[in-house]
Amino acid sequence: EVQLVESGGGLVQPGGSLRLSCAVSGFTFRNYWMYWVRQAPGEGLVWVSRINPDGSYTNYADSVKGRFTISRDNAKNTLYLQMNSLRAEDTAVYYCAKDLALSDNGAEFDYWGQGTLVTVSS
Amino acid sequence: DIQMTQSPSSLSASVGDRVTITCRASQSIRSDLSWYQQRPGTAPKLLIFSASSLQSGVPSRFSGSGSGTDFTLTISSLQPEDFATYYCQQSYTNPETFGQGTRVEIK
């Protein structure tokens, strides 16, 4: 059974940092592109970042570029999102998601984690 | 960025009704479109990819159609578990963008 389990969310002050983790099981993690998608309270879905299977390529939404860093540890089957210089507008549930296609950047998200809430407030 | 516009934003329907949701892209996205269902408090679930391909395990009452800029999600006979919010998403180009969502409520 495919599982993605996020952790690391919480309350942080503006300007602070958090690192989210997404532990996966049930598939060969090192073969898939992975993503972070966020959803502000009561709002829609927004793509945040992607990373290729070996971690050599990353890509970000303009709204987080220069502040967030996506990474992965294929030996630990874990995806990360390091979030620095957090702003109130970063408040959201953050989901990790798996690409449908093996070794391809199709950006069709077939499995999602349960989400972890990040609240940026003083 | 490609803008994705869904209509309606919400609808009320009864169990057994046929429901159609539309999604329009601001430019052609070929057939690079997915549909997701999100129930309250849960993660989105992939229903349809490549505009019309049914994801494994998804009931056949869900179907998708369209190409270019105009797409449709149809639920042939609405079931109680289908009351949720539905999102379209283009994967034609980065950044991948989602529609604003269509909330399907019980009449």
Residues of A whose CB is below 8 A from B94: 50, 59, 107
Smallest CA–CA distance, residue B76 to chain A, in Å, is: 22
Give the three-class secondary structure for A89: helix
Classify residue A77 as left (phi > 0), alpha (psi -120 to 50) or beta.
left
Interface test with A, best of B50, B94, B102, B103 (most A CBs within 10 A): B94
- C-alpha distance from B5 to closest chain A C-alpha (Å): 12
Contact at CB, B100 and A44, closer than 8 angstroms: yes
- Token pair belonging to A64: 């987080």
For A100, which DSSP code?
Answer: S
> Residue B9 — φ and ψ, nearest 5°?
-75, -30
Cis peptide before B8 (omega within 30 of 0): yes
Model pLDDT, residue B78: 97
What would the pLDDT profile of A70-103 be if each residue is shown by its tens digit? 999 999 999 999 999 999 999 999 999 999 998 8
Task: Give the residue-averaged pLDDT of A91-120.
Answer: 95
Average pLDDT, chain B: 97
Calculate what percentage of chain A has a pLDDT beyond 90.
95
**pLDDT score at A13:** 98
pLDDT level of residue B16 (50, 70, 90 thresholds): very high
- Buried b / exposed e along B5-32 (16+ C-beta atoms within 10 A): ebeeeeeebeeeeebebbbbbeeebebb
